[in-house]
Amino acid sequence: VAGIVLTTLLVPQGMAYAELAGLPAITGLYTTVLCLVGYAIFGPSRILVLGPDSSLGPLIAATILPIALSNGDPNQAIALASMLAVIVGLIMIFAGVAKLGFIADLLSKPTRIGYMNGLALTILIGQLPKLFGFSTDADGLVNEAKAFVQGVMSGDTIVLALAIGLISIGIIIVLNRWMPKVPGILVAVLIAIGLSSFFGLGDKGVSLVGSLPQGFPPFTIPHVSLADISLLFAGALGIALVALTDTISTASAFAHKSGEQVKGNGEMIGIGAANVAAGFFQGFPVSTSGSRTAVTEQAGAKTQLTGIVGAIFIILMLVFVPSLLSNLPQPTLAAVVIVASISLADIPAMRRLWHQRKSEFMLAFVAFLGVALVGILEGIAIAVLLSVLNIFRRAWWPYMARLGKVTGLAGHHDTKQYPKAKQVPGLIIFRFDAPLFFANCGTFRDRIRKYVINNPDVKWIIIAAEPITDIDTTAADMLLELDAE
């Protein structure tokens, strides 16, 4: 039963996310089948569901479409996407074998929040033309927004396409919010197909999915030049990082609920196997889906047999009834993607960061701007760089405190938090909240000198050294020199 429920989600989402990646809708179904089987065999989690993902679609498109279009053969996009999946899979398997699961920590939570918000806005703007029944050739958030407004102002909107798209969005949102156990996407797809068939929307200018190719693709080695492989590798690194971060966070959430432990390195091998399997059957890179995992868990899923059942039903559809979704309007697929993009955004988290720590809000905001204005792949690089720089910043300029005695509290405490704390005349107790090494020993020395200059009555300085978990040779020499001084 859970497998059948999963299938109702996987089919429309797989097709929608394939088109989001700039690929034919059928490749989303090929990808779904093979990644489910690959993860069921090699993945450690009993509950996680893998598949085409809205957060990876723009990354895939940004990686493969410039190469495919420059070669003048749009069909090559499938081969490029398949090779991209294989490369991503090999990267993940290597990282898992080498026990590099900590790489997921390169995307800190603030930068990830900003990145996802930027991604959500980019996806939303990119899908608006399809929702309104026309298409544009623009690239990038600003250009796509301009092209969309120009298209609407020029009268390119197809009213029936917009109507069926808005109806689909409304159905999905309403059912997801007030009747979460009802598969809103499936209901929207069925109603859209019914309206399309009854009113003949295909003859009135509304773009339809059309019949899918019958059968299942054979084992295929993607034919890509060595030059193209080198171009794909950078995108593969970014996709692998996002997929790994998604999977570890999703696995942690569900493992906490069931009392299990997350096997980070095993997850990387499982995701890698799923990507390699998809890549050899005309598929594209995949990741874990938190929403699909939650739905299947609610439907009673206990093991990866759920995914196998879902894969079998998709194969049966492709072999026996490939025309089942032929009257599905394209604006409905756009609606599926738009609702998914809204779920990626997290505005309350941005507000929380603003109230908790302004510096982390700025990290999130810069990551958002990087994705929205510079580009998807560049946005990932900016997010990772910001996370790493933030680590260095906090180690380079750590928090420093002068301590005093607080009435009613044991020990000594920060005088900034307790302004009435009592200090012994002629004595400064100084706490430095970081390991002491070459990059921050100058900061330490300058603060001590400042205390001495500003407090001529000081006779003693005590270092509360509990937070100083390490001292390198540069810092050790600085301490000797400072002591003599």
pLDDT in tens, 195-244: 999 999 999 999 998 888 888 888 999 998 888 898 899 899 999 988 88
Average of per-residue pLDDT values in the chain:
89
Helix (H) or strand (E) holding 151: helix 141-153
Mapping DSSP to helix (H, G, I), strand (E, B) and coil, where does residue 270 land?
A: helix
Block residue for tokens 């890509």: 224
Closest CA to 17 of 117, 127, 136: 127
Query: pLDDT digits over 422-461, tens only?
Result: 999 999 999 999 999 999 999 999 999 999 999 989 999 9
Q: Of 248 and 443, which is predicted with more confidence?
A: 443
- CA 244 – CA 289 distance, rounded (Å): 12
Largest CA distance in the chain: 91
Q: Look at residue 93 in the predicted model and tell me its pLDDT.
A: 95
Its pTM stands at: 0.81
Closest CA to 386 of 105, 104, 111, 59: 111
Structure tokens at 310: 């879902």
Please say if the pLDDT value at position 33 is more than 70.
yes
Please say if the pLDDT value at position 290 is more than 90.
no
Mapping DSSP to helix (H, G, I), strand (E, B) and coil, where does residue 50 land?
A: strand
Sign of the alpha-carbon torsion through 109, 291, 148, 79: positive
Q: Look at residue 74 in the predicted model and tell me its pLDDT.
A: 66
Structure tokens at 469: 């978990």
- CA 222 – CA 232 distance, rounded (Å): 13
- CA 76 – CA 56 distance, rounded (Å): 19
Cβ-count burial 56-74 (b if 16+ within 10 Å, e if not): bbbbbbbbbbebbeeeeee
Block residue for tokens 């300085």: 461
Rounded to a whole number, what is the distance in angstroms from the first to the last CA of the chain? 76
Cα dist from 70 to 66, 315, 481, whole Å = 6, 34, 62
Cβ–Cβ < 8 Å for 372, 122: yes
Q: Look at residue 292 in the predicted model and tell me its pLDDT.
A: 82
Q: What is the pLDDT averaged over residues 320-337?
A: 91
Structure tokens at 377: 């792949």
Block residue for tokens 């996002």: 242
179 Cβ contact partners less than 8 Å away, ≥ 6 residues apart: none
- CA 470 – CA 101 distance, rounded (Å): 25
φ and ψ at 463, to 5 degrees?
A: -95, 115
Least confident interval from 70-74, 209-213, 298-302, 425-429: 70-74
Q: Look at residue 71 in the predicted model and tell me its pLDDT.
A: 62
Strand order in the sheet with 427-432: 412-414, 400-405, 427-432, 460-464
400-405/412-414 β-pairing: antiparallel
Least confident interval from 7-16, 72-81, 189-198, 473-482: 72-81
Helix (H) or strand (E) holding 244: helix 226-258
Cβ–Cβ < 8 Å for 92, 269: yes
